[in-house]
Structure 1
Amino acid sequence: MNVLDLHAETWTSLQARRARLPHALLLIGQKGLGKFALAREFAASLLCEQPTADGRACGACLACNWFGQGNHPDFRLLQPDALADEGELEEGKKKPSQQITIDQVRELDEFLGVGSHRGGLSIVLVNPAEAMNRNAANSILKTLEEPPSNVLFLLVSSEPSRLLPTIRSRCQAIPVGVPSAAAASRVLAAAGVADGDHWLALSGGSPRFALEMATTGQGAWLETLSARLAGGRNTDPLAAAGDLEKLVKESKGRLQLKQVIEAFQKWLIDLTLVANGLPVRYFLAQQSKITMLADMIPAVRLIHFYRNLNQRRQEAEQPLNGRLFLEGVFLDYRALFSR
């Protein structure tokens, strides 16, 4: 997937800042747009010793070779251990953290203190920035308040509202928009994804997220969820919760409760759209079923339940009993259809 072709306008905006870089840039946009890949490309281009005319990294110089091998001395990546650990979780092994911790931030002290090895920029890429826990965020904030010279912080976020307002205020925001449906469809077709429109709809138009869902087996749990939700007032909350909890456990960390709630929210958005005479946005294959269900639900209940799901989305990131949590959500869903 060529992220620069998908986001040519954003790339141009980034290149316009090269001559006078701020100390921190914040790339924001919905999940699955390729913001992290875009930030890495920009970091590589800034460290490259022979960038191309349009600002891309040459890919051949010594700096590009270091960057490609993940050992450039002037680049650091801050991300949760769960993103760095791509292997299967061993039995009895502690689950990798979903947060960026204060210890990871403290490891930057020497990096930020010694200056650049190549006489240029030092770059810290934080992805996703909202994964910083409170202590880590406060520590980063102190650095942003008194930034070292020749250091650029690149923060990537799908949920900037979860960042400390003081962090957001010290970054120049770079919005990353949703690419055109035609461009996204071409990318998926080139990757060999069948029924690209279906996956693009479920992803909200994010081609990277659509590709991930189509190629990692996520379709199975989405089909299970939508089949349960299609039951309306006949949904069995306990059985539905059992099905989803089993899939979460079997995924070994690839599927999390918050993703289930996000899909729940998309289903509710489709119900709301149909209730207002508009076509569904996400679950295209269930258009007729969603239309039938929407006629059974008072509009005010949809509003209240969506607010409830926003709260549930936050709760899903805390340690909790997944089975009981999901049972509560499905019970609330079935209550939408009560007379």
Structure 2
Amino acid sequence: MYKAASVNDNSDSIYFAPLLPWQQTLWTQLTARVLTPPQSLPHALLAAGMQGMGKRAFVWRLVAWLLCREREQHPLGACENCDSCQWLKSGTHPSLQVLPSVSMPISKASSHSQEALKSTNKKIKADTKSSKAADKSALTTKVDDIRALQPFIYQGGQGMRICVLDHAEQMTIAAANALLKTLEEPQSQVHLFLISDTPAKLLPTIKSRVQQLPLQSIDAGVARDYVTHMLGGTVNREAVSPSQIEQLLQLANGAPLAAIDLAGAPWYSKRALWLTTWQALRSGKRSSIAASDYWQSQLSIGEFIQLTEQMLLDIRRINLGLSSSQQDIDLTAALQNHQPSDSLLESLVDSLQQIKMALQQNVQEKFAYDRLMQQLAQL
């Protein structure tokens, strides 16, 4: 199965990963502002947009370069060898603070960071490579977290200091208000990076005080070439055509890294099989229990939910008279004799959300699978 490039890995390698092709112009602009007197890098920057655009890869790479002791001699990225780069690799950099702690790249982290990882890993539920959902408590930044940053921010005379606030949309209201003071009173050589997958959830007062990085615009040709190159011409050991690359990008809303992860997702190659199972359930040719037992051996319940959500999106498209996003399976033909009503589709979507919540309460996957198959049979 295809494994995504290191830019998606939560490890120290992300500090030194190759620059993504669609980010080269922005990189050149920002680094020139730092290297050309007077240095004019904004005090607070926001990297926002959908997952799979490479915003975290850009931020971590820029953080490493800004802290690098040899950056003037290495304008294309951190040197990897100076004291600063070594501190990043060990997870002990004194001039970097990250909230929440689970966002810190930690493949070689300090023992303190490793302990933090162990405690938060219990709260993290991974669905697929492309979408790792964590319990909100692990990703929420609270007011006490922001207050704890104040000595670091206001200590003065310690050279450049950087704070990275990942999942910024999950700050509590109190935390966001506490952050406003820092944003309103910029400190010399202190830079804040906010990262958000859903910037619409950020307080307007926060967004008005940060400068957003233009990371969301990606040329379609550049994205297509990158995905083709990274997949090496194959998906699950089968040759991938230009039309399949286009489909991956369409399903990923144009996000190249998400398209690459999608190609390697365990459920992606089982879409036609899902369609066959649904038709067999609906016609009574297969029992929901038998279908449940079979799929439990194929995918985790989280992966099957993602598969089902994707199939329902296209069923809804066809119901609206639109073409299917998945041209490699004949979904339109399967719906010629039976199109589920909007009410049944909505009911199933609601059930998927309920099952996700139930799984967080440690409901057994078998029960969730059994319930889902029963509903599919009624769709």
- TM-score scaled by length of structure 2: 0.63
Q: For residue 15 of structure 2, what is the aligned residue in structure 1?
A: none
Within the candidate set 146, 150, 157, 1:105 is matched to 146
1:114 alignment counterpart = 155
Describe the shift of the 1:294–1:193 C-alpha distance in structure 2 as closer, same or farther (beyond 3 A).
Answer: same
> Shift in Å at residue 43 of structure 1?
1.2
Q: Deviation per CA, 1:159-193, whole angstroms, max 9, x where unpaired?
A: 21232333222221123234521222112329997
- Aligned partner of 2:82: which letter? C
Q: Residue in 2 aligned with 1:40?
A: 60
Quick check: 1:30–1:158 contact (8 Å CA) kept in 2? yes
Aligned to 1:289: 331
1:171-320 matches, cutoff 5 A:
171-177=210-216, 178=218, 179-189=222-232, 194=237, 197=245, 202-212=251-261, 218-219=265-266, 221-222=267-268, 227-228=273-274, 231=278, 234=281, 264-275=308-319, 279-281=323-325, 283-286=326-329, 288-293=330-335, 296-297=338-339, 305=346, 312=353, 316=357, 319-320=360-361
Provide, for residues 25-47 of structure 1, a one-character-per-residue CA deviation record: whole Å limited to 9, x for no partner: 11122212221111011112222
The structure 1 residue matched to 2:123, chosen from 95, 116, 127, is 95
Distance 2:314 2:225 in 1: 22
Residue type of the partner of 1:269?
L
Once the two structures are superposed, what CA deviation does each residue of 1:209-241 show, in whole Å capped at 9, x if it has no partner? 3444556xx41x455677446616945778878
Amino acid at match of 2:187: P
**Other structure's SS at 1:143 match:** helix
Aligned residues of 1:27 and 1:155 also touching (Cα < 8 A)? yes
Q: Say which SS state the counterpart of residue 33 (structure 1) adopts.
A: coil
Decide whether the 8 Å contact of 2:281 with 2:376 is kept in 1.
no
Cα deviation, 1:10-39, whole Å, max 9, x if unaligned, reads 424544654422221111222122211110
Aligned to 1:107, what secondary structure does the other structure show?
helix
Question: How far apart are the structure 2 equivalents of 1:306 and 1:176?
Answer: 36
Asked if residue 21 in structure 1 is aligned to residue 49 in structure 2, the reply is: no
Q: Give the fraction of aligned pairs with identical amino acids, expressed as a percent.
A: 28
Aligned in 2, Cα 1:116/1:296: closer, same or farther, shift over 3 Å? farther
RMSD over aligned Cα, in angstroms?
4.6
Between the aligned partners of 1:321 and 1:225, the Cα distance in structure 2 is: 27
Distance in 1, matches of 2:92 and 2:234, equals 29
Identify if the C-alpha distance between structure 1 residues 100 and 234 changes in structure 2 by more than 3 Å, giving closer, same or farther. same
CA distance in 2, matches of 1:333, 1:83: 40
Which of structures 1 and 2 has the bigger CA Rg?
2
Aligned to 2:201: 162
Q: Deviations over 1:128-167 (max 9, x none)?
A: 3234345544433443343433221112222212323332
Partner of 1:61: 82
Partners of 1:44 and 1:57 within 8 A in 2: yes
Give the direction of change, closer, same or farther, for the CA distance of 1:4–1:182 in structure 2 (3 Å limit).
closer
Contact 1:237 1:334 in 2 (8 A): yes
Question: What's the TM-score, normalizing by structure 1?
Answer: 0.69
TM-aligned CA distance change 1:227 to 1:83, over 3 Å: farther
Structure 2 contact 324–331 (Cα < 8 Å) conserved: no
Q: Give me the whole-angstrom Cα distance separating, in 1, the residues matched to 2:336 and 2:346.
A: 13
Asked whether the 8 Å contact 2:227–2:259 carries over to 1, the reply is no
Do the aligned residues in 2 keep the contact of 1:130 with 1:160 (CA within 8 Å)? Answer: yes
Secondary structure of 1:41's aligned partner: helix
Q: After alignment, is 188-197 or 9-18 more displaced? A: 188-197
- In the TM superposition, residue 79 of structure 1 has moved relative to its aligned partner by 3.2
Q: Please, which runs of 5 or more residues in structure 1 have no aligned partner?
A: none
CA distance in structure 1 between the partners assigned to 2:258 and 2:171 by the alignment: 22
The one-letter code of the counterpart of 1:36 is: R
Q: Distance in 1 between the 2:80 and 2:232 partners? A: 26
Structure 2 CA distance, aligned partners of 1:71 and 1:153? 18
- For 1:209, give the aligned amino acid: A
